[in-house]
Amino acid sequence: MDYLLMIIGLLLLIGGADGLVKGAARLAERMGIPSLVIGLTVVAFGTSAPELAVSIRAVLTGQREMAMANVVGSNIFNVLFILGLSAMIIPLTISRQLIRQDVPVMILTSALVLSMAIDGQLSRGNSAVLVVLLMGYTVFLFVQGKRTEHLKTPVSNRDAGTEPTENMSPVWHSILWLAVGLSCLILGANVLVGSAVNIARVFEISEAVIGLTILAIGTSLPEVVTSIVASLRGQRDIAVGNVVGSNTFNLLAVLGISGLVSEQGLTGSLQLVQQDFPIMLAVALLCLPFFFTGASLSRVEGGLFFSLYLLYSAFLIGMTTQAQWLSPLKLFICYFCVPVTVLTVTGSLIRDLRKRR
């Protein structure tokens, strides 16, 4: 039965992602807001709803560490797996706003949350600060998007642009697509996660691995399908903006709201604070040089991201199960993967400098 539910959940995710991207793109055109802003806000917030629901449920049942682990695992998965897989399918073009503004915001937010939770605790006061920052950032994005679109539009066409064109669908059509797509995404994610956790427990996989891998992956599946569908539909701003916006939303809203709901805030284990949080920050930092090189993410670079996530997952499983192959894997990561990543980043930067000259 759980296997059938997994298939149903996946189908709901695929259909929901298509509806969400359609609605977001049409709403952006109708309201005169750039698709990148919609990807960073409406789509990113919507596809992060499963993380928020799971984290709130976790703190209400006393599993405060799982809420934090879910966010950390999801953010690592979003960058390495989703961007990697999307770039392997279709090379992603990165907008200037993402490079100069939104990716640095994601990096700074990651560093801020790490500094707040360095002692293994995220207090309600810290959570309130995150929620306030989220509200300010969201308002800033919409104001900036409207201003940018206004400046791009000729004065003679501004008044005319306020009227709907014959080929432009009514606003309620776009809102309906968004609502139905988002509902299918959330329902599909919940069904898929529930069945996956049940299957994992049958095979006696530990709660720690479930939290950082299966749960994180399951709640990030809307981002996976949405970004891939957006890429295939040519909405690459939404594909990349969805990941960047989701990561920022996870840190500010999911941790912030979950921390406010919990009377004692959120907690993180020593492993989570000293290992997984720094990895999350390093992964965010890894985006910046790749995005700078030609303002794109190539198939090779996407393959590197994807491979790094597979290695991270293997490392987590090996560490949790105390597998015999863990030590060779550590050596492989230190003496092969890290140098290859550094060389790839350096090579991309050099090629980009040569092109500019």
Distance CA(286)–CA(343), nearest Å, equals: 13
- Alpha-helix runs per DSSP H in 120-235: 124-152, 155-158, 171-202, 207-209, 215-232
CB 118 within 8 A of CB 274: no
With b for 16 or more beta-carbon neighbours within 10 A and e for fewer, the 219-250 pattern comes to bbbbbbbbbbbbbeeebbbbbbbbbbbbbbbb
Q: Which amino acid is at 327?
A: S
Length of the chain in terms of residues written: 357
How far apart CA 73 and CA 214 sit, in angstroms, is 9
Structure tokens at 111: 């560093």
DSSP letter at 162?
A: G
DSSP helix/strand/coil, 205: coil
* CA 126/CA 111 separation, integer angstroms: 14
What are the backbone angles phi and psi of residue 191, rounded to the nearest 5°? -65, -45
What is the number of other CB atoms lying within 10 angstroms of the CB of residue 312?
A: 22
Helix 103-116 and helix 277-292, axial crossing angle in degrees, nearest 10:
160
pLDDT score of 256:
92
> What is the torsional sign of CA 17, 20, 22, 25?
negative
Distance from chain centroid for Cα 83 = 9
d(CA 44, CA 34): 14
SS3 296: strand
pLDDT of residue 16: 78
Residues 9 and 17: their CA atoms lie apart, in Å, by 12
How many percent of the chain have pLDDT more than 70?
A: 82
Question: Hey, what domains does the chain have and what are their CATH numbers?
Answer: 33-160+208-356 (1.20.1420.30)
In contact, 67 and 209? CB cutoff 8 Å: no
Question: Which residues in the chain show pLDDT less than 70?
Answer: 29, 31-36, 38-40, 42-44, 47, 145-169, 203-209, 211, 236-238, 293-294, 356-357
> Can you give the pLDDT at residue 169?
65
In angstroms, rounded to a whole number, what is the distance separating the alpha carbons of residues 292 and 55?
34
Q: Helix 2-31 to helix 236-249 angle, to the nearest 10 degrees?
A: 110
